Amino acid sequence: MSTTSLAPPVPRRTRSRSRPRRSPLSYLRRWVSPLILLAFWQVSSSAGVISESTLASPRQIAATAAELVRDGTLGTATLVSVERVAIGFAIGATFGLVLAVVAGLSRVAEDAIDPPLQMLRTLPHFGLIPLFILWMGIGEAPKLALIALGVAFPLYLNTLAGIRGIDRRTTEAATAMGLTWSQRIRHVIVPGALPQTLVGLRQSLGIAWLSLIVAETISAHSGLGYMINHARDFLQTDAIVVGLAVYALLGLATDAVVRHLEGRALAWRG
- How far, in Å, CA of 36 to CA of 38, rounded? 5
Interval 204-219 mean pLDDT? 86
Domains of the chain, first to last: 57-269 (1.10.3720.10)
Give me the amino acid identity at 255. D
Interval 45-64 mean pLDDT? 87
Contacts with 122 (C-beta within 8 Å, 6 or more apart), sequence order: none
Interval 92-117 mean pLDDT? 91
pLDDT at 3: 46
Residue 8 has pLDDT above 70, yes or no: no
pTM for the complete prediction? 0.79
The pLDDT tens digits of the residues spanning 107-133 come to 898 899 999 998 888 888 888 888 888
pLDDT at 5: 44
CB atoms within 10 A of CB 249: 11
Residue 6 has pLDDT above 60, yes or no: no
DSSP-based three-state secondary structure for 256? helix
Q: 269 pLDDT band (50/70/90 cuts)?
A: low
Higher-confidence residue of 17 and 215: namely 215
The pLDDT tens digits of the residues spanning 17-30 come to 555 566 667 667 77
The pLDDT tens digits of the residues spanning 189-206 come to 888 888 889 999 999 998
- How far, in Å, CA of 36 to CA of 41, rounded? 9
Higher-confidence residue of 89 and 105: namely 89
- How far, in Å, CA of 240 to CA of 132, rounded? 26
pLDDT at 261: 82
Q: What share of the chain is helix, strand, coil (3-state, %, to 5)?
A: 75, 0, 25
CB atoms within 10 A of CB 113: 19
DSSP-based three-state secondary structure for 175? helix
Contacts with 144 (C-beta within 8 Å, 6 or more apart), sequence order: 84, 87, 88, 91, 215
